[in-house]
Amino acid sequence: MTNILKNWKKNLSDEEKQSRRDESTKLKEEGNVNFSAGEYCKAEDIYTRALAICPFCYEKEKSILFSNRAAARMKMDKKEDAISDCTKAIELNPNYIRAILRRAELYEQTEKLDEALEDYKVILEKDPSIPQAREACMRLPRQIEERNERLKQEMMSKLKDLGNMFLRPFGLSTENFQVNQDPSTGSYSINFVQNPNNNDR
């Protein structure tokens, strides 16, 4: 259906294309007024109508419409839909800083920190003067490291619980197995400890 629609719009005359572009521009302006008034649901609907009318050849205009709709959806907490719209906007215009920045913010809000950092890095490459991107590139690596460490601890705790469940029938627990890391190689060795609670004094 999409291909049929795309082919049909390709067959539009130049006058028809211009007319549809003008109509979509008017709708975009109407959507902007609704957005500024805090009527985000109406704005989303109007941007959607504008996108349906705007011919495919006007990539920059469609990119702006997708980004605007993303902003409306962001305000309504439709974060995943907003991310999808930002991605479409960036596909149509890879240098659209506002759309990349908006998607980076959304990725961060949805705890997709790695994706957020990648977007912020792209922004810095394109425009090093954006303070938000510079600050994020300094802040996010530490947050990602802390998150990974937390996830590792949670995984180790779950593995320990699972290990105890299997060892319990044999009168053993994970406390009977001591894991040591070799600082020079980073490899691990496991030693059996008969009485882990008996400490030498």
Domain positions in the chain: 12-169
Q: Is the pLDDT of residue 73 over 50?
A: yes
Taking domain 12-169, whether its CATH number is 1.25.40.10 is answered by yes
pLDDT at position 125:
94
Q: Which residues lie closer than 8 Å to 132 by C-beta, 6 or more apart?
A: 101, 120
- What phi and psi, each to the nearest 5 degrees, are found at residue 192? -85, 130
pLDDT at position 131:
94
pLDDT band at 115 (very low <50, low <70, confident <90, very high): very high
Q: Is the pLDDT of residue 2 over 70?
A: no
pLDDT at position 152:
81
117-123-127 Cα angle (round to 5): 145
The sign of the torsion formed by the CA atoms of 102, 103, 104, 107 equals positive
pLDDT at position 6:
47
Q: Is the pLDDT of residue 151 over 70?
A: yes
